[in-house]
Structure formats: C-alpha cells, structure tokens
Amino acid sequence: MRACVIFNPAAKGQKAERFRRNLDIITADCELKLTSAAGDARRLAASAVMDGFDTVIAAGGDGTLNEVLNGIGDTPDGFTQTRLGVLPLGTINVFARELGIPTQPEAAWPIVRQGKETTIDLPRLEFGKSENRQFVYFAQLAGAGLDARAIQLVSWSLKKRIGPLAYVVAGLRALTESHSSLSVSDGMTQLSGQLVLVGNGRLYGGNFHVFPRAALTDGLLEVCVFPRVNWRVLIRCATSLLLTGKLPEKAVTRLRVKSFELVGPSSVWTEVDGELAGPLPATFSMLPKALRVLVP
C-alpha cells in the first residue's frame, strides 16, 4: 500500500493532539500532507491520486473526509485507482461510525494499516444551471432546509468550545426563521416538505438512525421528508431520537430511490456530509459500488 495521509495541523481537541504525538509512527509508513486553508484537502487529495498513491487517508472530521472524497473524484479514474481511508478526528465522525471504525485514532490507525477493502455506493449531488452545472460527491448524508441553514449559522468559535452543541444552537436559531416549501420527485412519486434529509447510510448526527432502511451497498438513497418544521415537531423528534435513537415515523414521509430532483427557492441551500454544497434546484443520483474504502 502506497498511502498518503491528509491532515489539518490547525485541528484542535484531544484526538488531534494524540494524532500529532503518533506522527513519527504514521509518517514512517505514509506520506503526510498538511492543509492550511479550506479547500486544501480536496486539492491535496487530487494531487496524491495524480502522484500515484493508491490510498488517500482523510485525517479529520466529516468535512475533511468530504474534501478528500471530492479530490479523489476530481481526477480521471480517481475512484478506480484510489482507496479512501478514514482517521476520525472530528466532532461527530458520522461516516466512520457507519463503517464501524473506532472514533479514537489509536484504534482506527491499525484498521487503516491492515488495508481491508470493501466497495460501497457513491452518491452525487448536481446543482446550478445547465450552462454552469456543478456536482459534488458525498459519503454518508445530505440535506436541504433547516439542517443546511443551521450549518450556515454555526459559529465556528463556539464549535471549538462546545463541540456538537454548536449545531444545536445554530439549529435553534434557524428554527425561528421562515421555512420554504421543498419538493422531492423521482418521476413517479412527489413529496413536499420544509426539511429534506438524504441518507446513503443509516446514521445522521452521530449514532441516530434517521435512515433505518438505508445501506451503503443497496444502490439506493433513502429520502426523509419533514412536511413541517416547527417547535412542536422539533421537540417530538428530539425526544424520540434521544430516547430511542430513531425518528417518530408519523413525523416524516420516506422514499427510497436511485435518483430524484429536489426543487425549491434558490435561497435554500444543500449540504453534504455537514458541509455547504450549493443552492436549489438540485439532482441527487447514485453511482453503485463506485467507492473503494478501508474498513475493519
């Protein structure tokens, strides 16, 4: 295995500190590339693929993971030539949890080094007008409406201090705003709501099973639509998630599809793996068994 580790040296927290203490061990086996600004992980991942690395390892949170994933996708045949590894150093690490990778770097590193590979589905989101169409890949989840708006409102200084609770604070702020109507259609079925969540895997926001029927290898996206978003719905769903780890099914409608259109005002943005992607309208599709990834 010829591997490259992409790591943000500005990352804070105990996980990142422990990762730094093991850098000598890690760099003895792999090349280390350090990021210095947003977008660097994507650029460095693309460069690593072009340089012939067969494994690119995202050492960071879900945002770093998404950048690395898209960097691999930026190169011709990148997903065929290169495997994705995950060293979870972030706040929530949803994709690592979905794969069963330990969220402590000391336990995750041996999994990466043993190089056990599987192939999973790769979702893609397209947005923008036809003459300027853009797309991004995502590994675990996506959304539009309240959750993307919360990401826009997150205070990153607060996130460094209180971790995942910063998203809760931002979500409460977003809840006080007006919510647009969004429409989901796969050409046969149409659903409408104020919040749309999309899952490749089962988990969202940690260990919450928001997409209980989703699987990384079934070739389908699970779409979860909330007809309305208000305080009553929030309290009901939050209570159920905290007590059972699942959503109350009467609060949502679901669709399992290979692709679908998501339509709404252009002021409404999408997010992928917890990172802002682009405005509506958007098209979601699936590339079956297109992503090679290292697993336990």
Q: For each of the domains in the chain, give its residue range(s) and CATH number, in order of start.
A: 3-115 (3.40.50.10330), 123-289 (2.60.200.40)
Start-to-end CA span in the chain (Å): 16
* pLDDT for position 169: 80
Query: What is the chain's pLDDT, residue by residue, as a tens digit (296 residues)?
Result: 899 999 877 665 666 677 777 777 776 778 989 898 889 999 999 999 999 999 999 998 888 999 999 999 999 999 999 999 999 888 789 999 999 999 888 888 888 888 899 999 999 999 987 777 899 999 999 999 999 998 888 776 776 676 667 777 877 888 888 889 999 999 999 999 999 999 999 999 889 999 999 999 999 999 999 999 998 998 999 999 999 999 999 999 999 999 999 999 999 999 999 899 999 999 999 999 999 999 99
Q: Is the pTM of this model over 0.75?
A: yes
* pLDDT for position 92: 83
**Contact assessment for residue 83 and residue 122, using Cβ atoms and an 8 Å cutoff:** no
Question: How far is the C-alpha of 253 from the C-alpha of 275, rounded, in Å?
Answer: 24
* pLDDT for position 181: 94
* pLDDT for position 126: 95
* pLDDT for position 21: 72
